[in-house]
C-alpha cells in the first residue's frame, strides 16, 4: 500500500516509483507540505472548538509569544517564506524554531539509498524532474551504464526504482547549524569521504561527498542559529540554496538539490552582519520579551512542568517574575554585558535557584529569603564576565536592583493571591476573612495545633478552606502537609498583603 488522499502509509513501507505513480502520489516542496500541515492542524483545532487565536497558539505548545507575532509567523509560513527571528538573547527565538520543526510534516517518500532523499518520481517523471531534479548520484544510478550524460527520466523504468516511506530526522531532512566564524562553506555543502575516494579514485565524483548541512536538510527543515555570526562566504552558499534550490560543493562538477524551509535566528547585535541579498530572502520577525505578566508566568510554568518535584509557592514564583519584568523596563536589552539578565532563561533560573537554595537551607517550602537569594544568584549568573571590574559593577547593580524591587514585587504578588481567594472563595465576606485571619494567626507558628487540625475536620474550618484552596491551586508535592504549606503562605500574606484588596492594582500593571 502507498499514500493516497485518505492518509499516509506507515514508516518503513516499501514500494516502487510505479506504485507511487499509480496511486497519484503528489510531489510537493517542503514549503508546500508545511503550508498544508499548518492549515490541517488549524482546522483540526477549530473542529475541537478553539477560536482562531487559540488554534494558532495551540500550534506552539512550548512557546509563549504575543498573538500578533504568531499571526505574522503563520502568514509568512503559509505564503512559503523562509523566516529570520531576531531579538534580544533569551527571548525564545530558538525555542520557537524548534516548535516549528516539531510542527513540520515528517513523512516523505524517498529513493532507497539516496543520501539526500530524492523523491522517487524525480527519476521517472520529466515534469517532476524539471522542478525537483534528482541528485547526481541518483542520475548515475538510473542512467544507462552509469553515464550521467545519458540520464533521461522518461526512459527510466519506474518498476525498478525502489521507494521507502520514511520519517525525517536529524541528518536526513533536518539539519541544525550553529553560527560562528569557524563555520566554512564546506560545513554547508559537504566534505570528501576519504574511504569512498579510495574506492572510486575520482575526487571530482559526487559519489565521494558526504552531505553537508544544506544537503542533509533537503526536502525538510534547516535551522540556523545566530546566522549573523556566519562568515560572508558561508552566507553566500546558503543564499545560493535559497535562490536556486541547489547546492554546489566547491570540489564538485555538479550541483545537488537543496530544497528546504529555512528558519534562522539572530541577536540584535549581529543583524548588521547578515549580507543584504541573504537578508532579502528571509522574512524578518521580531521576537521580543513578553509584556503581559500572564504570558511570562506561562513561560515559567511551561519550563518547570518537567520537574514538578521542586515546589516553589506561587506567590514567590510570581514575585520573581515581577522583579525580572521591572528589570526589563528599566535596563537596556542591547547592553552586551547585562542584556540577558532579563531574559526568559533568567525567569526559569529564578524559580530553579529559589528551590535549590530552599533545599540547601533545609526549608521544606522555600521562603521569601530563599527567593531574594535566588533572584540575586540567577540574575548575577546571566551577567557576561568581560573583566573583573565590570562584572563587580554589574553585580552591584543587580544587588541594588533586587533590593529596590523585591518588597514591592512581593507585595503585588501577595495582594493578587489574597484578592483572588477573597473574591473567588470568600465572596468578599469580611466576616469570613476576619475569622480566617484569626485562625491563621493561631496556626502559623504552632505545628502541633496544625497536626491536630489536619486530622479533625471540625477544627479551624475557615483556615481549612484556605488550605484546600492552596492545595487545589498549587498542587505541592505529596510529602508537604497541606496545612503546613497554607501556614507558610499565610505568613507571607500577613507580611505583604495585609489581607486587603482596596488598593490592589491590575495583575498585568508594571511596577
Region of poorest pLDDT, from 44-48, 165-169, 328-332, 373-377: 328-332
Query: Is the confidence at residue 152, as pLDDT, over 90?
Result: yes
Q: What is the pLDDT of residues 192-239, one digit of tens each?
A: 665 776 677 665 565 677 889 999 999 999 999 999 999 999 999 999
pLDDT of residue 197: 60
Mean pLDDT of the chain: 91
For residue 2, pLDDT over 70 is answered with no
The pLDDT score that the predictor gives to residue 254 is 81
* pLDDT tens per residue, range 298-346: 999 988 876 666 899 999 999 999 999 999 998 866 677 888 899 999 9
* In contact, 260 and 214? CB cutoff 8 Å: yes
> What is the pLDDT at residue 3?
46
Q: Is the pLDDT of residue 1 over 70?
A: no
304 half-sphere exposure, CB direction, 13 A CA radius: 26
The string of DSSP codes covering 179-226 is: --TT--HHHHHEEE-HHHHHHH--TT-GGGEEE-HHHHTTTEEEEEET
Q: Which residue has the higher pLDDT, 324 or 7?
A: 324
The DSSP output letter for 28 is -
- 3-state SS, 223-273, equals EEECHHHCCHHHHHHHHHHHHHCEECCCCCCCCEECCEEEEEEEEHHHHHH
Report which DSSP code applies to 159: G
Question: Looking at residue 144, what DSSP letter applies?
Answer: G
Contact between 345 and 381 under an 8 Å Cβ cutoff? The reply is no
The three three-digit cell numbers of residue 134, written as one number: 534528482
For residue 7, pLDDT over 80 is answered with no
Which pLDDT does position 503 carry in this prediction?
57
Domains of the chain in start order, with CATH, are 14-285 (3.40.50.300), 293-496 (no CATH)
Contacts of 78 (CB under 8 A, 6+ apart): 35, 38, 39
Maximal CA-CA distance, the chain: 94
Q: Average of pLDDT values for 363-376?
A: 96
Q: What percent of the chain has pLDDT over 90?
A: 76
Residue 5: which pLDDT band, with cuts at 50, 70 and 90?
A: very low
Average pLDDT, stretch 94-115? 94
Average pLDDT, integer, range 269-297: 94
To 5 degrees, how large is the angle CA 292–CA 296–CA 300? 165
Q: What is the pTM of this model?
A: 0.87
| Average of per-residue pLDDT across 387-406 | 90
Evaluate the CA torsion angle 44, 47, 50, 53 in order and state its sign: positive
| Residue pair 331/342 in contact by the 8 Å Cβ criterion | yes
Closest CA to 402 of 265, 511, 498, 273: 511
Report residue 410: phi and psi, to 5°.
Answer: -65, -40
Amino acid at each position: 500500500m502507498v499514500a493516497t488522499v485518505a492518509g499516509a502509509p506507515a514508516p518503513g513501507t516499501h514500494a516502487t516509483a510505479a506504485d507511487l505513480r499509480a496511486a497519484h502520489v503528489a510531489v510537493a516542496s517542503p514549503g508546500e507540505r508545511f503550508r498544508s500541515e499548518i492549515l490541517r492542524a488549524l482546522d483540526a483545532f477549530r473542529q475541537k472548538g478553539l477560536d482562531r487565536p487559540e488554534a494558532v497558539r495551540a500550534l506552539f505548545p512550548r512557546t509563549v509569544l504575543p498573538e500578533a507575532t504568531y499571526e505574522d509567523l503563520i502568514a509568512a509560513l503559509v505564503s512559503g517564506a523562509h523566516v529570520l527571528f531576531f531579538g534580544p538573547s533569551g527571548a525564545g527565538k530558538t525555542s520557537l524554531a524548534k516548535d516549528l520543526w516539531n510542527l513540520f510534516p515528517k513523512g516523505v517518500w524517498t529513493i532507497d539509498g539516496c543520501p539526500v532523499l530524492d523523491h522517487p518520481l524525480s527519476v521517472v517523471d520529466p515534469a517532476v524532474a524539471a522542478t525537483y531534479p534528482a541528485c547526481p548520484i541518483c542520475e548515475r544510478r538510473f542512467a544507462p551504464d552509469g553515464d550521467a550524460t545519458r540520464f533521461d527520466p522518461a526512459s527510466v523504468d519506474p518498476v525498478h526504482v525502489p521507494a521507502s516511506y520514511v520519517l525525517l530526522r536529524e541528518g536526513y531532512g533536518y539539519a541544525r547549524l550553529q553560527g560562528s566564524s569557524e563555520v566554512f562553506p564546506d560545513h554547508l555543502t559537504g566534505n570528501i569521504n576519504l574511504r569512498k575516494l579510495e574506492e572510486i579514485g575520482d575526487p571530482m565524483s559526487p559519489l565521494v561527498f558526504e552531505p553537508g548541512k544544506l544537503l542533509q536538510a533537503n526536502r525538510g527543515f534547516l535551522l540556523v542559529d545566530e546566522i549573523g555570526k556566519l562568515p560572508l562566504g558561508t552566507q553566500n552558499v546558503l543564499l545560493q540554496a535559497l535562490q536556486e534550490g541547489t547546492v554546489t560543493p566547491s570540489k564538485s562538477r555538479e550541483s545537488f538539490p537543496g530544497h528546504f524551509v529555512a528558519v534562522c535566528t539572530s541577536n540584535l547585535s549581529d543583524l548588521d552582519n547578515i549580507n543584504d541579498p541573504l537578508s532579502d530572502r528571509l522574512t524578518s520577525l521580531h521576537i521580543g520579551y513578553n509584556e503581559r505578566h500572564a504570558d511570562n508566568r506561562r513561560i515559567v510554568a511551561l519550563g518547570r512542568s518537567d520537574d514538578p518535584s521542586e515546589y516553589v509557592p506561587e506567590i514567590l514564583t510570581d514575585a520573581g517574575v515581577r522583579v525580572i519584568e521591572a528589570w526589563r523596563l528599566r535596563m537596556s536589552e542591547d547592553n552586551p554585558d547585562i542584556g540577558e539578565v532579563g531574559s526568559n532563561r533568567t525567569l526559569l533560573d529564578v524559580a530553579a535557584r529559589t528551590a535549590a537554595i530552599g533545599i540547601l537551607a533545609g526549608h521544606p517550602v522555600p521562603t521569601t529569603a530563599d527567593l531574594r537569594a535566588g533572584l540575586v544568584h540567577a540574575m548575577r549568573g546571566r551577567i557576561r564576565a568581560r573583566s573583573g571590574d565590570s562584572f563587580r559593577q554589574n553585580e552591584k547593580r543587580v544587588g541594588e536592583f533586587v533590593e529596590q524591587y523585591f518588597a514591592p514585587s512581593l507585595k503585588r504578588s501577595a495582594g493578587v493571591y489574597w484578592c483572588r481567594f477573597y473574591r473567588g472563595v470568600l465572596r468578599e465576606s469580611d466576616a469570613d476573612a476576619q475569622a480566617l485571619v484569626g485562625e491563621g494567626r493561631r496556626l502559623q507558628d504552632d505545628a502541633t495545633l496544625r497536626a491536630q487540625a489536619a486530622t479533625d475536620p471540625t477544627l479551624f474550618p475557615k483556615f481549612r478552606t484556605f488550605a484546600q484552596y492552596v492545595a487545589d491551586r498549587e498542587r505541592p508535592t505529596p510529602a508537604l502537609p497541606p496545612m503546613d504549606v497554607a501556614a507558610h503562605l499565610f505568613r507571607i500574606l500577613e507580611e505583604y498583603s495585609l489581607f486587603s484588596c482596596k488598593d490592589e492594582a491590575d495583575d498585568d500593571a508594571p511596577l
